[in-house]
Amino acid sequence: MQRSFILLKPDCVQRRLMGQVISRFEQKGLNFVAMKMLQITPDLAKQHYAEHVEKAWYPTLEGFITGGPVVAAVVEGLEAIQVVRDMLGATSGLKASAGTIRGDFSSSRQMNLVHGSDGPEAAEREIALYFNDEELCGYEPTITPWLRAADED
Ligand code: CDP
Ligand code: MG
């Protein structure tokens, strides 16, 4: 069982796509174990996107990601990190395959609606950046026996 951090970016909130995006993850079988709305500060943006702070395009990314409320969440499931990345599609909505969230809803390299952790280290770091332990609500969904066989883990 693995946890991944997802962030519904300001374009997702403003375009009223939160429900559709959350539904896709739920329909896939991922389990939401934490969620909150917040406004990202420039300081938090620099921590979240530490690997990109020196890039030429970082200032416009910071303006975008701090420009409206976001929804931070943690999802849980088998291979959740890769499953979420595959569901998001390529970074640019113009390059992302049809059927992915970015491919279906975004026509932008920057305004690509949803962030997802790119590996186990990033997931751990990002979950800790947005949530404390008491905010993580792990539980066993009663539907699990109808999502996969008992020996699949
Ligand atoms: O989100 P992902 O891991 O697919 O892409 P990234 O290369 O790690 O970039 C992080 C985020 O920066 C992207 O999701 C875009 O929102 C933004 N970005 C941008 O504004 N301009 C670029 N040239 C590349 C990425
Ligand atoms: Mg990335």
* Phi, psi values for residue 25, rounded to 5°: -65, -40
Residue 147 to residue 153: CA distance in whole angstroms: 12
Does 115 participate in catalysis according to the annotation?
Answer: yes
Please name the residue that has the structure tokens 């943006």.
45
pTM of the model: 0.97
The whole-angstrom distance between residue 61's C-alpha and the CA centroid of its chain comes to 16
- CA 109 – ligand 1 centroid, Å: 7
* Residue 139 pLDDT: 94
Per-residue pLDDT of the chain (153 residues; tens, 9 = 90+): 999 999 999 999 999 999 999 999 999 999 999 999 999 999 999 999 999 999 999 999 999 999 999 999 999 999 999 999 999 999 999 999 999 999 999 999 999 999 999 999 999 999 999 999 999 999 999 999 999 999 998
Which class would CATH give 2-146? Answer: alpha beta
92 CB within 6 A, ligand 1: no
Residue 3 to residue 12: CA distance in whole angstroms: 22
